[in-house]
Amino acid sequence: NFFSYIWLLSVLYKIKNINLLNNLIDSNLHFKNNLKQNNFNKFKIFIKVRFYTTISKNNGYLELIIKNPFDNRKQILDASKNKKGVYIFEILNKNMYYIGSSINLYSRVCSYFMPSILAKADRYVLRYFKKYGFKDVNLILYIMEDSSTIKEILKLEEYFITKYSKNKLLNIEVVPRSGYHLPISEEARNKLRKIRGEAFYLYDNLSKSLIFIFDSKQYAYDNINIDHRTLDKGLYEGKLYLDRFLFTLEPLLEFSFESLINIKELKILITEQRYKFKIKQPASKIIYVENKYNPLLNKQFNSISEFAKSVKGDRGTIRDYVNGNKIGLYRGQWKISLIKNTSFKE
């Protein structure tokens, strides 16, 4: 099933002051494959919870309504961290809406609350929130299954966009000629999202501050020369980059200080830290590799990393062969011999 009974109770437990479960735990309440017969009573506090069935019969989603989301970010975290789905900001006093979707709802929603994001105000919805704030605003989350595809998420987003009149939407795009954020073809949507990419944050662990916001992974690849595997380890495993920088899809509430720099300044900072990082690293190992089947591939490499990159291999595994922890030929064809050490980074 999409959401287990235990998961729902754990979410509700995390949301403070929930003591109105009298009608929620009903002996007749049960979860079926498509969640069609699940219907939860509305809570009389700031959150309402209901189950629905989407347009697709194979997918369900959970609706969460959070009042005053700016002051209730902890509840957003508890309910939607690493969850996929659609979000709607509802402007109560003006009967207006902003609709979006994300593969990480908490990250995307909380980005609207960040002063650095609002300061850019490069979209109509951001200019609105910058001017009027988040008073009289409800946040509606439609949390989908973890297995939901991007296509399914966009389909649900499109469903809600078509549900409201364009005059009620704050979804005005800055892309030339796009106009209102009305339903567009799947191909156009995917192209637009590829251009925009997935925004993420760069924090300086030394100053405990946010220093840069990337619009996409590609922008990081092109400008700071970071390998995609290194970036993914930072984003999804929390590994520090160059022993100093932290990449994250989510704004870090504990790093509340912002000290944003431009891309030119960031390049200089990264270059300086990369130099310091090299000095701190143990000596690299120059290796000579011989290919069992093709002598023309025999070559000297200045480091294990250089060889690993050349053959798209794992450095740890190659290092095991160099250190003698593994014997024989790497991948059944490479004989690896250690030549000498240098003072450069491994």
Residues 6+ apart with CB under 8 A from 70: 113, 133, 134, 137
- The fold adopted by the segment(s) 5-194 is GIY-YIG endonuclease (3.40.1440)
Q: How far apart are CA 112 and CA 126, in angstroms?
A: 7
- Residue 299 is predicted with a pLDDT of 92
If you ran DSSP here, which 8-state letter would residue 180 be given? B
Give CA torsion, residues 318, 320, 321, 323, to 10 deg: 120
Q: What is d(CA 101, CA 117) in angstroms, rounded to the nearest whole number? A: 17
Whole-model pTM: value is: 0.46
Separation CA 129–CA 164 (nearest Å): 20
What b/e sequence results for 213-226 when a residue is b if at least 16 CB atoms lie within 10 Å of its CB, and e otherwise? bbebbeebeeebeb
Alpha helices in the chain (DSSP H): 5-14, 73-80, 105-111, 115-120, 124-132, 150-163, 186-196, 217-224, 228-237, 263-280, 304-311, 315-323
Q: What is the pLDDT of residues 187-202, one digit of tens each?
A: 544 444 444 567 788 9
Structure tokens at 183: 């339903």
8 A C-beta contact, residue 171 and residue 125 = yes
Highest mean pLDDT among 30-34, 88-92, 175-179, 233-237: 88-92
Q: State pLDDT tens for residues 46-77.
A: 445 444 433 333 447 888 999 999 988 888 88
DSSP 330: B
Enumerate the domain spans of the chain.
Answer: 5-194, 200-264, 283-345
Higher-confidence residue: 272 or 107? Answer: 272
Band of pLDDT at residue 126, cut at 50, 70 and 90? confident
Q: Give CA–CA dist 40/304, Å, rounded.
A: 57
Residue 339: pLDDT band (50, 70, 90) is confident
**Tokens describing residue 161:** 């966009």
* Token code pair at residue 146: 């973890």
Provide mean pLDDT across the span 83-107: 88
Please tell me what DSSP assigns to residue 168.
Answer: G
The mean pLDDT value of the chain amounts to: 74
What fold does the segment set 283-345 form as a domain? Arc Repressor Mutant, subunit A (1.10.10)
DSSP 167: G
